[in-house]
Amino acid sequence: MTRSGIDADALIRQLSEATAKQGDAVRESVQQATLKALQGRELTLKSIKDALKVVTQAVSAGAAQNPVASGVDALLAQAVAGMDAAVLRAVEASRRALEQLVEQGVALQDKQLKKAMTDLEKMEDTLFGAIHKAAGDAAGGLQAPWAQALQGFKQDGSATGGAAQNAIQQLTTQSQAALREGRALGQRTAQALLDHYAALASGVLIGMSGAMAGAPGADVGSAAKPSRAKR
């Protein structure tokens, strides 16, 4: 079964057969599945939500079939880490795309740019929301492990959330510098660029995924989690 660009059956099979010691492999597979689900569509909050829905459904289906009940908690925690790693890539792709727009003179005062930065900040909430829904939709035996994985990420702070906060700070500083230097685009030109922002970000994500394929260290485990206020 292939949905949204991923082989859901393969992911279900892996989760159903995985042991607690195979957590790293689960994390990597979930990360790659999420990234594949995002490819071929504009990078928006809705596309991220849709991709996470497909992946969490496959993870739940596989975990429900896993006979090693004592290891399911750890496997779901690793699955959440894999999704976090993928959305972290989406944050970075969005940051790079916005950086290009700001560098060309699109001002932060533009409503569409403001919305794009707000959406960037909401990516963590979209991730948490998808996991919360997975917990609510899962069979009784998986509700608690999903909820526990979500609670752990809320307490520690996801890589996605920290990266989004840093990206917004960097973009704000960059925009202020561009304004001081007199780099500003006309409204029509800026509008044309912003209209293609989501497609640009998607292209950046595809390029990043291709460049980093086969690099197992490029995941949440190797991404610094900037300090930020706990929610």
Q: Is 41 left (phi over 0), alpha (psi -120 to 50) or beta?
A: beta
Is residue 47 within 8 A of residue 38, CB to CB? The reply is yes
Q: Which helix (H) or strand (E) element contains residue 7?
A: strand 6-7
Count the neighbouring beta carbons within 10 Å of the beta carbon of residue 190.
Answer: 19
Per-residue confidence (pLDDT) for residue 30, from 0 to 100: 96
Task: Please name the residues in contact with 165: beta carbons below 8 A apart, sequence gap of 6 or more.
Answer: 121, 226, 228
Count the neighbouring beta carbons within 10 Å of the beta carbon of residue 228.
Answer: 12
Q: Which helix (H) or strand (E) element contains residue 6?
A: strand 6-7
Per-residue confidence (pLDDT) for residue 188, from 0 to 100: 62
Query: Where is pLDDT greater, at 22 or 28?
Result: 28
Per-residue confidence (pLDDT) for residue 58, from 0 to 100: 95
DSSP-H helix ranges across 104-217? 111-121, 123-137, 140-156, 159-180, 187-195, 197-212
CA distance 2 to 69: 27
Determine the average pLDDT of the residues in 109-136. 90
- Each residue's pLDDT tens digit, 28-61: 999 999 999 998 789 999 999 999 999 999 999 9
Closest to 63 in 3D by CA, of 153, 170, 155, 140:
140
Mean pLDDT of the chain, nearest integer? 83
Per-residue confidence (pLDDT) for residue 53, from 0 to 100: 95
Closest to 59 in 3D by CA, of 80, 85, 86:
80
| pLDDT band with cut points at 50, 70 and 90 for residue 182 | low
| pLDDT band with cut points at 50, 70 and 90 for residue 8 | very high
Q: Is the pLDDT of residue 208 over 90?
A: no
Per-residue confidence (pLDDT) for residue 89, from 0 to 100: 96
Reported pTM: 0.84
CA distance 102 to 98: 6
